[in-house]
Amino acid sequence: MRAPTAVSPLPLPSTRARAQADTRLTSLDLSSNALGEAGGLALGDLVAHNQTILSLRLCACPLGDDAVRALAEALGRNVSLATIDFSKSSGVSPEGAALLAGALKTNSMLASLRLSGTRTGNPGAEALAKVLKTNTSLRDLDLSDTTLDDKGAVALAAALAVNRGLETLNIGNTNVGDAGAKALCDALAKNVSLRAIDLGPNPRMDRSWQQLLDSVVKK
């Protein structure tokens, strides 16, 4: 992976003006860029006011707490963004993930949220699980390569038992064990929307759980 490169953010008024004026911009990839706090805040302003961007990739961006907060607040007002990818962005902490989850209480457009390789952990997963009990727009959630364990998996299972929107869930390469897998399996017996769940590789889990869960979601 190339090293993050510095990006000089546009002044906030300029960012907003360009975002509102450019109706052709539908995808924005700023992966591996050291946006910094100022760049993150400018990006939050863009997300809050742009109505054409459908996909935003911020993979491996060392975002700070203020930047993630600005993006979460903007996401709560955005009416176009369908995919946002924070994979390997170490700046997304459990608190940041909780803020993003809060945005899903009002955002009904986001269909894919990818937090693979972030510091989301159990607190972030639990916040997302709480929102998923009522949110029906999110279709894809990626929490792979995080410190998620059985506690977070049990919270996600409780959400899946009543959720009617999520179609794919990735919790591979985490610390989820047999207890978490069992909770997920029990929940999927009640779920009607999930089409795929990825549990592996998870060293604390018996491999047979993946096969069993595959049979449940494909019933």
pLDDT tens for each residue of 53-86:
999 999 999 888 899 999 999 999 999 999 999 9
The lowest-confidence range among 36-45, 134-143, 186-195 is 36-45
Place of tokens 């700070």: 64
pLDDT at res. 20: 52
First CA to last CA across the chain, in angstroms? 40
pLDDT at res. 17: 53
Give residue 119's identity as a one-letter amino acid code: R
The architecture (CATH level 2) of 1-83 comes to Alpha-Beta Horseshoe (3.80)
Q: Give yes or no for residue 45 having a pLDDT over 70.
A: yes
Distances (CA, A) of 54 to 24, 41, 47, 84, 107: 11, 19, 10, 9, 14
The top-level CATH class assigned to 92-219 is: alpha beta
pLDDT at res. 91: 86
Q: How many CB atoms lie within 10 A of CB 194?
A: 22
All residues at 6 or more sequence positions from 57 whose CB lies less than 8 Å from its CB, including other chains? 27, 28, 29, 30, 31, 84, 85
Structural element, H or E, at residue 197: strand 196-198
Nearest one of 83, 166, 146 to 156, comparing CA atoms: 166
pLDDT at res. 156: 98
User: Which has the higher per-residue pLDDT, 208 or 174?
Assistant: 174
Where are the CATH 3.80.10.10 domain residues in the chain? 1-83, 92-219
Structural element, H or E, at residue 99: helix 94-103
Nearest one of 153, 218, 158, 155 to 192, comparing CA atoms: 218
pLDDT at res. 92: 94
Contact 156, 127 (CB under 8 A): no
pLDDT level of residue 14 (50, 70, 90 thresholds): low
* pTM (2 d.p.): 0.88
Contact 61, 34 (CB under 8 A): yes
Per-residue pLDDT tens for 90-149?
Answer: 889 999 999 999 999 999 999 999 999 999 999 999 999 999 999 999 999 999 999 999
pLDDT at res. 75: 94
pLDDT at res. 36: 79
User: Which has the higher per-residue pLDDT, 29 or 4?
Assistant: 29
pLDDT level of residue 160 (50, 70, 90 thresholds): very high
Measured distance CA(182)–CA(197) in Å, rounded: 13
pLDDT at res. 218: 60
The encoded tokens of residue 100 equal 């993003």
Q: Give yes or no for residue 6 having a pLDDT over 80.
A: no
Mean pLDDT in residue range 155-172: 97
pLDDT at res. 5: 43
